[in-house]
Structures are given as C-alpha cells and as structure tokens.
Amino acid sequence: MTLIRAFVCSAALAVALTPFAALAADTTPDHLQAELANGQAQWDLAQQQATDIAQQATLSAANERMIAQLRSQAFRERQLSNVSNAIAMEQIAAALANTARNSGDLNARNELGIAQIKAAGLMAIADANLANGQQLAITKGRFDELANSKAQSDFMHQLANFISGTLAEQNMSNAKLIAQEQADAIHTPALAQEQNGMAMGAADVLAADAVLSASVVNMASANITGETKAAAVLAHAAASLRNAQAMAAAAP
C-alpha cells in the first residue's frame, strides 16, 4: 500500500511540473521570433544609449575644459592685479622716499645757510669790536682795549669758522641722515610688499597652469568613463541579440 502511494505522488508531481518545464524551454517559432525581435530592439536601444553616453561624455569633457579655463583666467587676472598693485605701491613709495631725501637735502642747505648767517654775524661783531678797540687805542691810548678786542675778534672768528664749517657739516649730515632714515622707512616695506606681490603672482600662474593640466586629466577621464559605459551597454545588448539569433538558428 505504501509503495502505491509513493508511485501516485511521484506521478502527480511529474504531471504538475511538466507545464513549467515546457514553458522554460519554449522553442515555438512565434516565441523564438519574439525573442529575436526583442534582442534586436535591445540592440537598437543600446546603440542610442551608447550615442547618448558618448555625447554626455563629450559635454562633460567640454565642461571640464571650460571650468578650468575660467579658473585659470581668474588666477591669471589675480596675478596681474597682485603684480600691478605691488609695482604701483613700490613706485609711489619710491617717489615719497625721493621726496624725503630731497627734503633732507633742502634741510641740509638750510642748515648751511643758517650757520653761515650766524658766522657772518659773529664776525661782524668781532670786526666792529676790533675797530672800536683800535679807535680807543689811537685816540685815548687804551692799548689794553685793543688787545682785548683782538683776542675777542680771534675767538669769534674761530667760533664763526667752527659754526660755518664743522658744526654746519655735522648738522647737514644729520639732516641728510634723518631724511634717509625716513626714506628707508617708506621704501623698504614697499619693496618687501612688491616681492610678496611678485611671489603671489608667480603662485597664481602656477595654480593657473595646474588647473589647466588637471583639466586635461579630467577630460580624458570623462571620455574614458563614457566609452566604458557605452561599451558595456553595447556588449550586453549584443550578447542578448546573439543568444536570440543562436536560438532561432538552432530551432527545427
């Protein structure tokens, strides 16, 4: 009795599975033609998709190039701005420094003029006192006054020479030194800023070149990615079409 039940169950299971097996291996002409038409349609669609992918890759590469050119142009414009500003500021500082030096020269000449005026005044007084002493010596016999006048005259002439000579030179040198220090205080920072601006400009040029170089790599990457995707789509569709063609060719 048990053997009969097992046989009946096995037969029922075989009958139940038969339609599914027949459906999975449907080789009727209509089904094969439908598969072949579907494969051809997938191939046509894949070709259009590959074209779209290639166009998108070309557009992406062009965008990469355009963005790189814009960024590079921005770097170069900033480089020109930094360099031109640095040069302009240095030129202004140089002009102000020259003005300070010229002012120092003028102050030095003024110091000399003042010293000469003072010296001339002292010598005039000394000469007047000497003349007065000579007059007293002649008219009143006061030779002591003459000797005193000569001593004062000699001293005041020496003092006048010192004022118009050594002291004037020191004052002139001091005026020029102060002016040079002022000029250096104006010009030296501007020179440093100019060098900094030049360095920043050079860095901007390097950055601009780097952006353009990177865009070449990005463009190539976009094209390669597009080609890879398009090739994968076409390969998949071609495989499906070949399979459908093979099944149709092998049908009785």
pLDDT score of 7: 37
Determine the Cα–Cα distance for residues 28 and 13; give it in Å rounded to an integer. Answer: 25
Domain count, the chain: 1
Q: What percentage of the chain exceeds 70 in pLDDT?
A: 87
Evaluate the CA torsion angle 67, 69, 72, 76 in order and state its sign. Answer: negative
Determine the Cα–Cα distance for residues 192 and 75; give it in Å rounded to an integer. Answer: 22
| Neighbour count for residue 70 (Cβ, 10 Å) | 11
pLDDT tens figures, 62-105: 998 899 888 888 888 888 888 888 889 999 999 999 999 999 99
pLDDT confidence bin for 241, thresholds 50/70/90: confident
pLDDT score of 27: 66
- Residue 144: CATH number of its domain: 1.10.287
Determine the Cα–Cα distance for residues 27 and 33; give it in Å rounded to an integer. Answer: 10
Residue 65 lies in a domain: yes
| Residue 31: exposure state from Cβ atoms within 10 A (0-12, 13-18, ≥19) | middle
Residue 244 lies in a domain: no
Residue 9 lies in a domain: no
pTM for this model (two decimals) = 0.57
pLDDT score of 19: 40
Residue 16 lies in a domain: no
User: Whats the size of the chain, residue-wise?
Assistant: 252
Evaluate if residue 15 carries a pLDDT over 60. no
Q: What is the mean pLDDT of residues 4-18?
A: 38
Instruction: Name the residue with tokens 């003024």.
Output: 110
Q: Maximum distance among all alpha carbons in the chain?
A: 185
Residue 36 lies in a domain: no
Cβ contacts of residue 219 below 8 Å, gap of 6+?
61, 64, 65
pLDDT score of 25: 52
Q: What is the residue range of 191's domain?
A: 43-218
Q: Is 23 left (phi over 0), alpha (psi -120 to 50) or beta?
A: alpha
Taking all residues of the chain, what is their mean pLDDT, rounded to a whole number?
Answer: 82
pLDDT tens figures, 129-175: 888 777 767 777 767 777 777 888 888 889 889 988 999 899 999 99
Quick check: 57 and 227 in contact, CB under 8 A? yes
Residue 19 lies in a domain: no
